[in-house]
Amino acid sequence: MNVTLDGIGFTVPPVSICRQKSSEVAKQLSCSSDQQRRRLEALYRRSGVQSRGSVLLSEAACGAVEQDFFPPAVDHDDRGPTTAVRSQQFADHAPQLAADASRSALDESGLDPGQVTHLVVVTCTGFAAPGVDIELIQRLGLPAQTQRVQVGFMGCHGAINGLRAAQGLLAANENANVLLCCVELCSLHYQYGYDANRIVSGALFADGAAAMVLRRDSQKPSLATLVETGSCLVPDSRDAMTWKVGDHGFEMTLSATVPSLIEAGLVDFLTPWLAKRGHTIESIQGWAVHPGGTRILSAVESSLGLQPEQLATSRSVLSEHGNMSSATMPAVLRQFADRDLPRPWLMLGFGPGLEIEVALLE
pLDDT digits (tens, 9 = 90+) for 30-85: 998 999 999 999 999 999 999 999 999 998 555 678 899 999 887 878 899 999 99
Q: Is the pLDDT of residue 168 over 70?
A: yes
Closest CA to 285 of 360, 216, 230: 360
Higher pLDDT pick, 244 / 195:
244
- Can you tell me the distance from the alpha carbon of 176 to that of 284, in angstroms, rounded to the nearest whole number? 29
- What integer best gives the mean pLDDT of the chain? 96
- 186 contacts: CB under 8 Å, gap ≥ 6: 125, 205, 206, 207, 322, 323, 324, 325
Given a cut of 60, is residue 206 above it in pLDDT? yes
- Bridge partners, residue 8, by sequence: 212
At the top level of CATH, the class of 224-361 is alpha beta
Beta-bridge partner residues of 22:
none
Task: Please state, in angstroms and rounded to a whole number, the distance separating the CA atoms of residues 257 and 89.
Answer: 33
Confidence band for 178, pLDDT divided at 50, 70 and 90: very high
Between the alpha carbon of residue 164 and those of residues 170, 214, 248, 279, the distances in Å are 10, 11, 32, 20
End-to-end CA distance of the chain: 14
Catalytic residues: 156
The Cβ of residue 192 has, within 10 Å, a number of other Cβ atoms equal to 22
Give the 3-state secondary structure of residue 199: helix
pLDDT tens digit sequence for 111-140: 999 999 999 999 999 999 999 999 999 999
Sequence-separated (6 or more) residues with CB below 8 Å from residue 161 = 122, 151, 154, 357
pLDDT of residue 96: 99
pLDDT of the residue at 238: 95
Position 343 scores a pLDDT of 98
Exposed (0-12), middle (13-18) or buried (19+): which is 114, by Cβ within 10 Å?
Answer: exposed
What is the bridge-based pairing of β-strands 3-11 and 224-233? antiparallel
What average pLDDT does the segment 331-338 reach?
99
Q: Where are the beta strands (DSSP E) in 166-323?
A: 177-185, 207-216, 224-233, 241-246, 249-254, 286-289
pLDDT at 220: 80
Give bridge partners of residue 345 from the DSSP assignment.
286, 361
Neighbour count for residue 259 (Cβ, 10 Å): 22
| Angle between helices 312-321 and 294-304 in degrees, nearest 10 | 170
How far lies 244's CA from each of 6, 77, 153, 154, 185, in Å?
34, 19, 9, 11, 15
Which residues on neighbouring strands pair with residue 347, listed in sequence order?
A: 288, 359
- Indicate left, alpha or beta for 147 from its phi (over 0: left) and psi (-120 to 50: alpha): beta
Please say whether the beta carbons of 87 and 128 come within 8 A.
yes
CB-based burial label for 130 (10 Å; 0-12, 13-18, 19+): exposed
Residue 55 to residue 189: CA distance in whole angstroms: 12
